[in-house]
Structure 1
């Protein structure tokens, strides 16, 4: 599929075998809930896009996100050192996304943000099929991290779902892939391959609900000698189809709807995550937190990304249980108005 939006101005929907070449949102026939056709200004204002790259190991955990919210460009990056509990984190908010650029080609483009002497860049390469994170901060922090979707073979989740009465959300997800590269920071210098780091990745764009909320869970690593990745969500991308899945040695296994049970006022207390089909039964114990709050009236966000350890089981149909024992990963609780 070269383009997500068809000739009639409507998107392709479903779970796809490969990524669209272009998220051609300008060709979308965007209408109000009452059916009035909306113009280019409304189409620009309501289109949002974000990309996230995370890395996980028992020596270092990191995350970097870039978001284009039309009225603002947002970026954050953090590094957490589990053995010491120390953390580096930076946040950037740029009006009208000035100082940023965003490609609408999920597998062949780049997104970046520049603010002073700080630079965040996410590169998606078609040949070879790789994703790369580059970060340079004015405090001397440097990140150069990369993963491949080819060697060893890996099948990402590609999905597009209807959203509310007049929107759609395209997303592609990766978790459970080996990560290579280097990190230099006040937390120490790390060779990501040498510390056994794994990566996960999210590329999402579309016409999301103007006021929305979601929970998300992700883990990446080794369990009983198998490469395991997990991507679960509740609150978005679940109209007609869901993005819920996990990976065993790169093979994508679909999961039904999921329930996140936790105390929103005490997010560092244990979380319990289970799927309706019984394939997932996990407990999450928090070890640290990255959070942001923003309330600009027309734009607002209450974001908590919590890193910690999962325990429990995955039960693939037709295969033996996979025991998850202290595997590092993330959960997320996000409210946003945009």
Structure 2
């Protein structure tokens, strides 16, 4: 698929075997809920895009996100050292996205944020199919991490779903891939391949619900000698299709709708995550979290990303169950108005 938006101005919906070459949102026939055709200003204001790169290992946990919310460009990065409990985190907010750039090609392009001597950069390369995270901060922190989807072969989750009465969301998800690179920071120096790090990646964009929420869960690592990744969500990307899945040795296994049971006031305590089809039964307990709150009236966010360990079982239909014992991963509790 060369472009997500067809010649008639409508997105192509469904689960895709491949990745659209271009998320050409400006060609979308965007209309009000009452059917009035909307112009370039409304298209700019309502289109949102974000990208996330996560690192997981027993020795280092990390996450970096970039978001284009039209009125503001947002970025964050954090690193957590499980052995010491120490954490580095930075947040950036740039009015009207000044100092940012975002490619609309999920497999080919650069998204980045620059502020002073700080750089957050996510690179997507088609040949070889590789994702790279580059972070340089004014305190000397440097992250250079990358993973390949070619060797061994990996099947990403790629889908587009309707959103509200007049929007849509495209998402491409990856988890359970080995990560290479280096991290240099006050927590220490880390060779990501040597410490057995895994990565996950999210590229999402579209005309999302003006007010929404989601819960999300992701893990990456090894279980019973198999490479395993997990991507589950509730509250978004659930109209006609869902993004819920897990991977075993790079093979995507689809999952039905999921339920997140947790105490919103105590996010580090136990979460129970189960799927309607019985393929997922997991328990998560948090170790730490990154959180942000923003309330400007016209735009608001209450965001918690918690990192910790998963236990439980994955039961792919027709195959032996896979026990999950203490694998590191993430969950999110997010409210947003944009």
TM-score range, shorter chain: over 0.9
Deviation string 1:228-265 (CA, Å, 9 cap, x unpaired) is 00000000000000000000000000000000000111
Superposition pairs of residues 131-210 of structure 1, within 5 angstroms:
131-210=131-210
CA distance in 2, matches of 1:79, 1:265: 24
Q: CA deviation at 1:201?
A: 0.1
**Pair 1:11-2:11 in alignment:** yes
Q: CA deviation at 1:136?
A: 0.1
CA distance in 2, matches of 1:98, 1:296: 18
Is the partner of 2:43 in helix, strand or coil?
helix
Partner of 2:233: 233
TM-score normalised by structure 1 residue count: 1.00
In the alignment, structure 1 segments of 5+ residues that lack a partner are none
TM-score normalised by structure 2 residue count: 1.00
In the alignment, structure 2 segments of 5+ residues that lack a partner are none
Partner of 2:243: 243
Partner of 2:88: 88
Q: CA deviation at 1:208?
A: 0.3
CA distance in 2, matches of 1:183, 1:309: 22
**Pair 1:113-2:113 in alignment:** yes
Q: CA deviation at 1:38?
A: 0.5
RMSD of equivalent CA atoms: 0.3
Partner of 2:103: 103
**Pair 1:214-2:217 in alignment:** no
Partner of 1:275: 275
Q: CA deviation at 1:268?
A: 1.1
Q: CA deviation at 1:110?
A: 0.6
CA distance in 2, matches of 1:264, 1:31: 36
CA distance in 1, matches of 2:311, 2:196: 19
Is the partner of 2:45 in helix, strand or coil?
helix
CA distance in 2, matches of 1:54, 1:130: 14
Deviation string 1:24-83 (CA, Å, 9 cap, x unpaired) is 000000000001110110010000000000000000000000000000000000000001
CA distance in 2, matches of 1:298, 1:91: 20
CA distance in 1, matches of 2:115, 2:106: 24
Partner of 1:125: 125
Partner of 1:69: 69
CA distance in 2, matches of 1:268, 1:183: 26
Is the partner of 1:282 in helix, strand or coil?
strand
Runs of 4+ aligned structure 1 residues displaced above 4 Å come to none
Q: CA deviation at 1:85?
A: 0.5
CA distance in 1, matches of 2:295, 2:269: 26
Q: CA deviation at 1:269?
A: 1.0
Q: CA deviation at 1:99?
A: 0.1
